[in-house]
Amino acid sequence: MPTDVYIGIGSNIDAERNILEAIEALEHRIGHVKSSSAYRNPPIGLDGDDFLNLVLHLVSDAGPVAFEEILNDIERSAGRARSGSGAGPRSLDLDLLLYGSLVDAELGLPHADILHYPFVLCPLAELTPGLEHPITGIPVSRTWSEMAHMNPMLVKLEQLQTPATGGDSRSSRAAEG
C-alpha cells in the first residue's frame, strides 16, 4: 500500500552535489520527490564545514526496512562509510524520519531527531505544516514554532536546482518560526 515517507537529508562535504545526486537517485528508484527548502547550519557536536539540510517527501510501496536499504545504498554511492562514533563530516546522511504514522522503536520510527534538531523540524514543518507527529499528536508546525524561539542557527536557502523543485541555491534569509 502506498505510504507517505519523509526523509531527512544532509551533507557538509560537497553538499549541494551530493544532495542533488541523492534526490535524483531517489526519483529514479522511487518516483516523484517533493522537497523543502534547504537550510544551512553549523555542525552540532563536531568540527567541520556547515551542513546543508532539507526534508523530502515521497510516496512508496517499499516497506520501512526496504526503504532503509535504499537509503543506505544511496549513501554508499556518495562515499558514506558508516563506521566509528558517527560524529564527523558527512558526504551524505539520509534518515528515514517518518514512514506513514508507524511507531516502531526497533526501527527508530518516528526518528527522534524530529523533536530534537531545528535542521530536521524546520524543513519538515515547512514541507508539511499540518502533519501531526505520530507520538505527540501535535502538528509539526506548532512544535517548530515553539523550537524556533530558541534562535536556532539556520539560514534558509532558495530551493536547490533539481527537477523536483526547479529552484536554485541562492542564499535567502534566516529561518523564522
Q: Is residue 82 among the annotated active site residues?
A: no
Catalytic one of 50, 93, 104, 168: 93
Q: Is residue 4 among the annotated active site residues?
A: no
The pLDDT, as a whole number, for residue 1 is 87
Query: Residue ranges of the domains in the chain?
Result: 3-174
Tens of pLDDT along 45-60?
777 899 999 999 999 9
The pLDDT, as a whole number, for residue 177 is 44
CA distances from 144 to 12, 26, 41, 67 (A): 23, 26, 16, 26
The pLDDT, as a whole number, for residue 172 is 37
pTM score of the predicted model: 0.87
Q: Is residue 80 among the annotated active site residues?
A: yes
Mean pLDDT by 10 residues, the chain (177 residues): 96 94 96 95 86 97 96 88 63 96 97 96 97 98 93 80 43 40
Contacts of 83 (CB under 8 A, 6+ apart): none
Exposed/middle/buried for residue 47 (C-beta within 10 Å: 0-12, 13-18, 19+):
exposed
Q: Give long-range contacts, CB 8 A cutoff, 24+ apart: 26-29.
A: 26/56, 26/58, 26/70, 26/74, 27/163, 27/164, 29/70, 29/74
Q: Is residue 90 among the annotated active site residues?
A: yes
The set of cell numbers assigned to 86 is 558517527
The pLDDT, as a whole number, for residue 83 is 54
Catalytic one of 80, 82, 104, 113: 80
Interatomic CA distance for residues 23 and 16, integer angstroms = 11
The pLDDT, as a whole number, for residue 176 is 43
Strands (DSSP E) found in 16-73:
34-35, 39-41, 51-60
Catalytic one of 14, 90, 168, 173: 90
CATH of the domain spanning 3-174, picked from 3.30.70.560, 3.30.950.10, 1.10.3720.10, 1.10.10.10: 3.30.70.560
Catalytic one of 17, 95, 113, 168: 95
